[in-house]
Amino acid sequence: MAYEFRLQDPGEGIHEAEIIEINVSEGQQVREGENILVAETDKAAVDIPSPVTGEIVELKVSEGDIVEVGNVLAVLNEEGSEKDEEPDPDEGADADEGADKKTGKSRNDQPAREGGNESKTEASSSSRAAGESSRAEAQTTDADQADVLATPAVRGLARDLGIDLEDVPGSGEDGRILEDDVQKVAESDSASTDDDTDIQAVRRPTEGSERVKLRSVRRSTARRMAQSWRDIPHVTHEDAIDITDLERMRRDHVNTAKQEGVKLTLTPFVMKALAGSLSQHPSFNARFDADEEEIEIFHEVNVGVALDTERGLLVPVVRDVQAKTVLELAKELSEISEKLQEKRADRAMLEGGTVTVTNIGAIGGTGLSPIINPPQVAIFGVARAKLQAVLSGDIDEATSQNRLILPVCLTFDHRVNDGADAARFMNSVKLLLSDPEQFALRS
């Protein structure tokens, strides 16, 4: 019997995923639980196991396709069934109505049932259960989505451009709205504006140019940062910290940390200094609820650490920083980084942050102005430390010393904190990082 294997939500609350790897070919025999695809969401790359044992009759997707939950990934002949047996024409008809013939994309945005992928055994059983449920008609939770046929990517583009999808004529199958349709309406709306020439120049590819589709993490980052910049009044407070003595202390303990399998960098010291300062300035360890006009202040310090990975910018979260030592933080950061590079991150690793740290020092730069990661209200930035000659003493009898100076900044939500609050918070961080004795006393 032919079996239609559909994409299920891998427990992350997703609506779509990008197919980044196909491990099988048509005509190949596969076993139940064998990984046949790798799908990447904006959170992690997930192995997709076969829910049944049988032969791959047809692959409905290609590498690089963006597939919605509920779409058919592959058609299999289950073991023991007749090879040429046709699928029941009534089975799954409702769920397939309006599907894209090339990619198998469905108009449904929500899965009929969520699937799991925690272990090979659980993956096999849950995938089979998910596949069984996919034969039922997929349900849509948003009534408006039933009236307008468009993928989440198209809906996101329309939101970014301020376009009402109900005003967009769809050129796709069954009236489905495509990205080009949204772009045409946006260009038409902007035709009467003074800066129309600039807009057209940006949108129209020139000779020798190319258009690169935003995928998974890049697409998610673009939407999230645009939302942050649009909704949050950003202010950046800059300063410079003398970390000469702290750097000496770090070097004194590098070998000790190495014996424990830990690479001791500056970042865990910054995280610990933030946690100590946030206990005195808790309004920076918070989230802003615009609907209720309330500030939710957190008692635990969960620091999101912005990391540059092959997939793009990811922000894993280290929890309860206030309760951990610098060595414990360094070890946890190493473990997290390893998981991200091996694409073994899960949704839980990337959620629950209360404040964020971004450190570009290893790459370079004398300063930065980072964008807040909503719904947080602050992000602390670190650039590259530089040895500088610093004058000290009386103005008439100043002496010069070589000191290691660290450029830092604090971008904050002006709805929650004022400039004076940011300056006081920065002074607290500065005290801890510039004076190892204070750091030891307060850590």
**Which architecture, in CATH terms, is 143-217?**
Irregular (4.10)
Instruction: Give bridge partners of residue 197 from the DSSP assignment.
Output: none
Q: What was the pLDDT predicted at 441?
A: 67
How would you class 135 by CB atoms within 10 Å of its CB: exposed for 0-12, middle for 13-18, buried for 19 or more? Answer: middle
Q: Is 414 a catalytic residue?
A: yes
Considering the entire predicted model, what is its pTM? Answer: 0.63
**Three-state SS letters, the chain:** CEEEEECCCCCCCCCEEEEEEECCCCCCEECCCCEEEEEECCCCEEEEECCCCEEEEEECCCCCCEEECCCEEEEEEECCCCCCCCCCCCCCHHHHCCCCCCCCCCCCCCCCCCCCCCCHHHHHHHHHHHHHHHCCCCCCCCHHHHHCCCCHHHHHHHHHHCCCHHHCCCCCHHHCCCHHHHHHHHHHHCCCCCCHHHHHHHHCCCCCCCCCCCCHHHHHHHHHHHHHHHHCCEEEEEEEEECHHHHHHHHHCHHHHHHCCCCCCCHHHHHHHHHHHHCCCHHHCEEEECCCCEEEECCCCCEEEEEEECCEEECCEECCHHHCCHHHHHHHHHHHHHHHHCCCCCHHHHCCCCEEEEECCCCCCCCCCCCCCCCECEEEEECCCEEEEEEECCCCCCEEEEEEEEEEEEEEECCCCCHHHHHHHHHHHHHHHHCHHHHHHHC
Integer-rounded Cα Rg, in Å, for the chain is 26
- Dist. CA 372–CA 228, nearest whole Å: 7
Which position among 234, 237, 253, 414 bears the catalytic label?
Answer: 414
Q: Is the sign of the CA dihedral 410, 414, 420, 421 positive or negative?
A: negative
CATH of domain 233-442: 3.30.559.10
Residue 365 neighbours by CB distance under 10 Å: 12
Could you give the dihedral angle defined by the CA atoms of residues 416, 420, 425 and 428, in that order, rounded to the nearest 10 degrees?
Answer: -170
How would you class 138 by CB atoms within 10 Å of its CB: exposed for 0-12, middle for 13-18, buried for 19 or more? Answer: buried
Give the list of residues 6+ apart from residue 308 with CB closer than 8 angstroms, or none: 363
**Phi and psi (nearest 5°) for 98?**
85, 15
Q: What was the pLDDT predicted at 443?
A: 66
Closest Cα partner for 417 from 320, 292, 297? 297
Q: What was the pLDDT predicted at 124?
A: 42
- Dist. CA 251–CA 385, nearest whole Å: 15
Per the CB < 8 A criterion, the answer to whether 330 and 259 are in contact is no
Per the CB < 8 A criterion, the answer to whether 411 and 236 are in contact is yes
CATH domain 2-134 topology: OB fold (Dihydrolipoamide Acetyltransferase, E2P) (2.40.50)
Q: What was the pLDDT predicted at 347?
A: 76
Q: What was the pLDDT predicted at 307?
A: 92
Instruction: Give bridge partners of residue 238 from the DSSP assignment.
Output: 409
Residue spans of the domains in the chain: they are 2-134, 143-217, 233-442
Residue 83 neighbours by CB distance under 10 Å: 9
- Dist. CA 85–CA 97, nearest whole Å: 22
- Dist. CA 284–CA 143, nearest whole Å: 38
Instruction: Give bridge partners of residue 75 from the DSSP assignment.
Output: 4, 58
The pLDDT profile of the chain, 443 residues, written as one tens digit per residue, is 788 898 887 555 667 888 888 999 888 999 998 988 888 776 667 788 898 999 998 998 988 888 888 889 999 988 765 544 444 544 444 444 444 444 444 434 443 334 444 444 444 444 444 444 443 333 333 444 445 777 767 777 887 787 888 888 888 777 778 888 888 888 776 654 545 455 455 555 557 888 888 877 888 889 899 999 999 999 999 999 999 999 999 999 999 899 988 999 999 999 999 999 999 999 999 999 999 999 999 999 999 999 998 888 999 999 999 999 999 999 999 999 888 877 777 778 889 999 999 999 999 999 999 999 999 999 999 999 999 999 888 888 889 999 999 999 999 999 999 999 999 999 999 999 999 887 776 66
Q: In angstroms, how far is CA 221 from the centroid of its own chain? A: 6
CA-to-CA separations, 243 to 176, 403, 428, 435, in angstroms, rounded: 58, 8, 14, 8
Per the CB < 8 A criterion, the answer to whether 364 and 385 are in contact is no
Q: What was the pLDDT predicted at 251?
A: 94
Q: What was the pLDDT predicted at 333?
A: 94
